[in-house]
Amino acid sequence: MSEALDLQGRHVVLGLSGGIACYKSAELVRELQRHGATVQVVMSEAAAQFITPVTMQALSNRPVFSSQWDARQHNNMAHIELSREADALLVAPASADFIAKLAQGRGDDLLSLLCLARPIDRLPLLLAPAMNREMWAHPATQRNAAQVVADGAMLLGPAAGDQACGEVGDGRMLEATELCEELVAHLQPKLLAGQRVLITAGPTFEAIDPVRGITNLSSGKMGFAIARAAAESGAEVTLVAGPVALTTPRHVRRIDVQSALQMHEAVMPLAGQHEVFVATAAVADWRVQGCSEHKLKKDGSGRVPNFEMIENPDILASVARLPKPPYCVGFAAESHDLAKHAREKRLRKGIPLIVGNLGPATFGQDHNALLLIDGQGERELPHAGKLALARELVREIAARLPKP
C-alpha cells in the first residue's frame, strides 16, 4: 500500500559501513528512488570490500564518496557539504564497529565524520544495524546502541532470521522495502504523538455452516492504510481486522477476528483505553441464528434451507455510548445517495465525524474518494491513493481532537 512518490523532493544520504548486508543497500537505493527520493551514497573503506562504488554510483546516478580527503567538493569539506542539503542520513548497514564509533564520538573516516558534523537539530540520523547475532547481543554493542539512541539517532531493526554465517537470530538488516517504509514514516509529521488509536478494518464473516457464510467485498485496504498513517503520525495503534489477506503495518498491534460478535468482543474492552476509535470495518448487520454444526447438503428436492437472521450488535454506536467514549469516526460505504445516507448514519450513531465512500467503486481498489461529514458540514477528499487519503484523514482527526 505504499504511495509511488511519497519521498518526492526528498534527498537522502545513504551511508554504507562494512558488512555482507551491503548487497541489500543496492536494492535500497532503487527503492528510495522509486518513492521519489534522490540518493547520495557514502561508503566506508570496509563497505567497498562487499560492494563496489561503481555499482552504487550506477544505481544512484551520483558519484560515490568514500574518503574524507576527497577534493571534489569546492572547499574539500565533504563531511560538511554532503549533509547540508539532505533530509535524512540513513546508514544501512550499520556495523557493530560503526555504531561503536558513533557512541564514542570518533570521526576517523568520511562516514563517521558526516554523522558527527550533521546539523543535529534538523537532519535525522537513522541506523540499520546488521551483524552476527552474538555481536548484536554482546553487552558492549547493546551499550553502544543505547548511547547512540540517547544521542539522537534512531535504530531501524535489526530483524531476526537466517544470517550469512549460517546462524539464526537477531542481527539481520531490515529489507529495503521495510527501511524505505521506516524512513517515510519518520519524515511524516507526528500529529498524533502520545495518542492511542483503535481501528477496525475489513469485512466480517457470518457462518451458515462449517464451510459457508455471509460476508462482503471489503478488502480492508482503507482501514490498514489508516492504521499505517496513524502509526506514522506517532500514535500507538491497535488494529482489529476481519478476514483479510493484508500485511500488518509496521509498529501496529493486530487482533484478528472473523465474525461481528468477535469484533464486538475485541473492541469493547479496548475502546475506553483509546483516545480515538476509527470504525472502518464493513461489519455485517445480521447473522444466522443457530449456525449448523455440519455442512448443509442438497437433498434433491429443490427446497432451499430457511435461515432465521438476527441483528448483530452495533459496535460503533456501542463505543459512542460509553461513559467516556474516544473520539469516534465512522465509515459509511453506500451504493447511492452517499451524502444523505452518511448524514443520517452520523446522527443515528451519535458520533462527531463520519467518512462516506461509494462501496462498490472502492472495495478491493488501491484508490478511493472520501466525503467527510460533521456537525458543521461536508468536505470532499478527492480521488487519490488510499494511503494518501488516510494521511489526510489523520490530519483531520488530529485537528479535531481536544487540545491538552
Catalytic residues: 165
All three cell numbers of 373, joined, read: 461529514
The cell numbers describing 1, all together, are 500500500
181: Cβ–Cβ under 8 A, 6 or more apart, which residues?
A: 2, 250
Q: Which strand (E) or helix (H) includes residue 109?
A: none
Of 119, 212, 135, 203, nearest in space to 171 by CA: 135
CA 70, CA 65: separation in Å to the nearest integer? Answer: 7
**Residue 357 · residue 381 · CB < 8 Å:** no
Q: How many whole angstroms separate alpha carbon 368 and alpha carbon 372?
A: 13
Contacts of 202 (CB under 8 A, 6+ apart): 218, 219, 220, 223, 241, 242, 243, 244, 246, 281, 282
Give the whole-angstrom CA distance, residue 258 versus residue 241: 8
Q: Of the candidates 3, 366, 11, 365, which has an alpha carbon nearest to the alpha carbon of residue 181?
A: 3
Helix (H) or strand (E) holding 225: helix 221-232
Sheet order of strands, 377-385 included: 252-256, 236-241, 196-201, 276-279, 327-334, 353-358, 367-374, 377-385
> How far is Cα 201 from Cα 209, in angstroms, rounded to an integer?
24
Q: How would you write 256-301 as a 3-class SS string? A: ECCCHHHHHHHHHHHHCCCCEEEECCECCCEEECCCCCCCCCCCCC
Consecutive H or E run containing 126: strand 125-129
- How far, in Å, CA of 68 to CA of 157, rounded? 28
